[in-house]
Structure 1
Amino acid sequence: MQVLIADDHSIVRSGLTHLVTEMNEAATVLTATSYGQIGELLDAGTALDLIVMDLRMPGLSGLNDLEALVRRVAPVPVAVFSMVDSPEEMRAVLARGVRAFIPKSTDDVLIVNILRLVMAGGSYVPPVLGMAGAAAPAPAPLPAHSLFDGLTRRQLDVLDLLAKGLSNQEIGERLGLNLSTVKTHVTGVLKALGVGSRTQAVLLVKDADRDRLV
């Protein structure tokens, strides 16, 4: 697996490199500090499996350049990692074929899971884009091929009920399990997903559901 990280700030490149190796220890990470360097790597025939890039870097003049890159490397997924916090700009970026918009304020653990989701063929939309409009529909079944593949059937049942807002006690009553067993399953779910809280696990479910509805 070969990943290109394009950002003109060394601390960002170093941080993302660390997260990519957490996602896949065997990953090879290449870096670029400008849009032109990305082009040079592609011109040289460099094979890539994922591109993670900033929106503000030398040589990148706007969304047309971004869309041109997305089209050039397809079907290789492109994820944007950016300080941009405007919902309108986020939507404009995603409309150009980018598979994930990851705000730089995103928790490290969640970033790793987002990258896993993208590599599994999914996409990620920041929660802020889902806060407006009509109420969200009831959660759909979890994707068949995604970062949820590592969960057991019972863990999937528990995660589905977590996403519906049920407490541990309510989950136990629904599934016929005692409270201790439910807690054990919840701990297993969090560990399998690589997240540190129920909230982060539920966010992954909601993101996956939204991707299936897009």
Structure 2
Amino acid sequence: MQVLIADDHSIVRSGLTHLVGELDEQATVVAATSFSQLNAILDGAMQDGGTAFDLIVMDLRMPGLGGLEDVEALVKRVAPVPVAIFSMIESPDEMRAVLSRGVRAFIPKSTDDVLVVNILRLVMAGGSYVPPVLGMPGASSHAAAGTPRAVPPSIFDGLTRRQLEVLDLLAQGLSNQEIGERLGLNLSTVKTHVTGVLKALGVGSRTQAVLLVKESGRDRLV
């Protein structure tokens, strides 16, 4: 697995490199500090046939990046390689504008490390990620009253309804025994569902799974 990280701040590149290592211990990370260097790296990779990368993670405020047209051109150039944006932008309208250019994820830099890893895992599996704020009422100052809003893709989309019910109760602090009593399931069945939830979310513990629910900003999953 090869990942291209483009950001002009060394601490951000180092942090992302560490998180990519959590995603895949064998991953190779190539770093760029400007948009022109990112393109130069891609030029070299394409001369060898293909993009050579499995994922591109980039900032929006790096030197040489002119605007969203550059982002869209990059997305088209490297397709089907997924492009994820890692940015300080907090405006929902700006986030939507960026996502409309074909990037597969918009990850605010304030996002918890565990969730960043799971978002990247989701993107690598062919999914997409939209910040929870875009699904909240009033997130866009330009949204027309009564206009239907598309439901953002979710990291929980791969779970079955029963798994969502179990995760919901986990997030409420219930034990396996209590979940079984609530759902009318025996203890071994509950344990099987919990294991399935952890595997589907790509996490190693109940605590990490609950953290993803909290980070999603959703009160209930079902």
Q: Secondary structure at the match of 1:118?
A: helix
What displacement does 1:43 show?
1.0
The match for 1:200 is 212
Question: Does residue 1:123 correspond to 2:136, yes or no?
Answer: no
Q: State the match for 1:39 in structure 2.
A: 39
**1:19 partnered with 2:28:** no
Q: Distance in 2 between matches of 1:25 and 1:59?
A: 31
Q: Give yes or no for contact 2:167–2:197 (8 Å, CA) kept in 1.
A: no
Of 64, 67, 72, the residue aligned with 1:67 is 72
Question: What's the counterpart of residue 5 of structure 1?
Answer: 5
**Contact 2:166 2:193 (C-alpha < 8 Å) held by counterparts:** no
How far does residue 182 in structure 1 lie from its aligned partner after superposition? 4.9
Deviation string for 1:182-214 (max 9, x for gaps)? 58965884586326252414766x7xx9xxxxx
Matched, 1:95 2:108: no
TM-score, scaled to structure 1 = 0.76
Q: How many residues align?
A: 194
**Shift in Å, 1:158:** 4.0
Say which SS state the counterpart of residue 5 (structure 1) adopts.
strand
Structure-2 residue corresponding to 1:176: 185
Q: Percent identity?
A: 63
Question: Which residue in 2 is equivalent to 1:78?
Answer: 83
2:119 matches 1:114: yes
Structure 1 regions of 5+ residues with no counterpart? 210-214
Contact 2:86–2:106 under 8 Å retained in 1: yes
Cα distance in 1, alignment partners of residues 7 and 180 from structure 2: 44
Q: Secondary structure of 1:47's match? A: coil
